[in-house]
Amino acid sequence: MHSRDTLYVDGAFIPSTGTGTLPVTNPYTEQVIGQVPEGTVEDVDKAVRAAAAAFPAWAATSRDDRVKYCSAIAEGLKARAQEVALLASAEMGAPWQLAVMVQAGLPVIDFASIEDHIDAVEWERRSGNSLLVRQPVGVVGCITPWNYPLHQISAKVAAAFAAGCTVVLKPSELVPGVAYLLAEVMDSVGLPPGVFNLVTGTGPVVGEAIVAHELVDMVSFTGSTRAGRRVAELASAAPKRTSLELGGKSASVLLDDLSAEELGNAVAGSLTGCLINSGQTCSATTRLLVPRDRLAEVEGLLEVFAQFAPVGDPMDPATQQGPLVSKVQQERVRAYIQGALDDGAKLVAGGPEQPETTPTGFFVKPTVLVAEAGSTIEQEEVFGPVLTVVPYDGGDEAALAIANGTAYGLSGAVWASDRERGIAFAKRMRTGQVGVNGGVFNPTAPFGGFGQSGYGRELGPLGIEEFTAITSLQL
């Protein structure tokens, strides 16, 4: 059982003021494997007041000392990497290889990289007769989702610590185990009490209490666009700073100069970019834009490639696709697939049915559909292993219009035989990150979006700057 009966507030594991609990379910077995406290508004108040009391001393620590704490936390997470991977597999269904490399690996990088990034921040500079000083923003409320449960916590917390901020964290109640492991690491390295606080619970209670609390200076939120709007609405009453990393409907664009071999590599890379973490990735390349005269060629490749993404037990090293995190998520994704088919989309691979090899578990078959630009499946975020192939007519301008034609703008990709043409195209995409000819994700480059994908940036020096404010000293 993955049960916890405490919160982490002011440097100690303490019971909640409430008596409610929230179940933790294994999405492969569909069995409840634990529970965590259903935190209360009173719990949030305790945590925020602890963070506020700890802020002046923490803000006054040297940057060298803050780096030492972050480095020690990185070492602590590295030593417990297998536990992180096991929790990610058990609580959210991450396939074992992904759990080890990404779910356990990225959080170590998040904390360890602070040493490299903190000196790249321009903490002070002269401007005329003024000295511009970058200050920590204060107490930060961090609200994080379930799909990369420890990375999305660590990306926020490490940067906030580096800036000199204190933190109150609400992790996803669906996958809370890794947050407790992080709290144990924080405790073991001697982090001053109140610098990091953990309150589990639901968004409407704990999340909203954090956003609305008068002593919270900033909220950093990652999650759905719908929930992000609610965070922004509540924060505006103060008003207070927010950083929102929300949904995505990222396009992988195949330009018309690709050779047959290059096309094969591009299609394989695009499908991989869609299916990572069983499609539960906000920056997944879920739209594949293809010149219409090469559509049949692409369909044939995808029909074959989709067979190399077997679903199954997340703990089996051969498994490429685990279950989705919950029954609700499974039903939502299946409804999108069926809706697209009802609207006339062509099914190339997969479908809405339970995979034959896995009679239990919240699985969705890796699915490839062909649909026209402007259709629901092409416009809306599905958040599952569903790739929508979108044919386009005409040249780069037509492809660009479709790529930029959703409300989102988080990530993307472009594939071109002429690399400079690909770079020129990428620069015109209204999105936060673009991979050119398979350029891989950089965990130290700024991450964030345009439009309904939110605002603000995480990771790297800009991620630290997000948690600061400027004071001008007139000299």
Q: What is the pLDDT of residue 1?
A: 54
Q: Any idea which residue has 């204190």 for tokens?
A: 166
The enclosing H or E element of 23 equals strand 21-26
Contacts of 429 (CB under 8 A, 6+ apart): 251, 253, 400, 403, 404, 409, 412, 414
* Euclidean distance between CA atoms 283 and 336, whole angstroms: 18
Closest among 168, 150, 32, 12 to 80, alpha carbons compared: 150
Distances (CA, A) of 206 to 148, 360, 365, 431: 20, 32, 34, 31
Catalytically annotated residues: 245, 282
Contact 219, 140 (CB under 8 A): yes
Distance CA 33, CA 444 (A): 34
> For the chain, what is the mean pLDDT?
97
Mean pLDDT, to the nearest integer, of 204-218? 98
As a whole number of angstroms, the distance between CA 417 and CA 260 comes to 11
Top-level CATH class of 7-247+452-474?
alpha beta
Q: Which two tokens stand for residue 441?
A: 């994700």
pTM for this structure? 0.96
At residue 244, the pLDDT reads 97
Q: What is the reported pLDDT for 39? A: 98
160 pLDDT above the threshold of 80: yes
State how beta strands 7-9 and 139-143 pair: unpaired
Query: Taking residues 195-222, what's their average pLDDT?
Result: 98
User: What value does the mean pLDDT take over residues 180-206?
Assistant: 98
For residue 349, the one-letter residue type is A
Residue 325's SS3 state is coil
pLDDT one-digit tens code per residue, 393-443:
999 999 999 999 999 999 999 999 999 999 999 999 999 999 999 999 898
What pLDDT does residue 443 have? Answer: 87
d(CA 432, CA 268): 22
Q: Find, among 112, 113, 114, 139, the residue nearest to 63 by Cα.
A: 114
Q: Which residues contact 20 (CB under 8 A, 6 or more apart)?
A: 37, 38
Report whether pLDDT(355) > 90. Answer: yes
Q: 227 CB contacts (<8 Å, ≥6 apart)?
A: 203, 207, 221
> Domain 251-430 belongs to what architecture?
3-Layer(aba) Sandwich (3.40)
What's the average model confidence in pLDDT over 382-397? 97
Looking at the chain, how many residues does it have? 475
Distance of CA 252 to the CA centre of its chain: 19
pLDDT value of residue 2:
76
Chain centre to alpha carbon of residue 127: 36
Q: Which amino acid is at 394?
A: G
Indicate the domain borders of the chain: 7-247+452-474, 251-430
Asked if the domains 7-247+452-474 and 251-430 are classified in one and the same CATH topology, the answer is no
Q: Which pLDDT score is estimated for 258?
A: 97
15-60 tens-digit pLDDT: 999 999 999 999 999 999 999 999 999 999 999 999 999 999 999 9
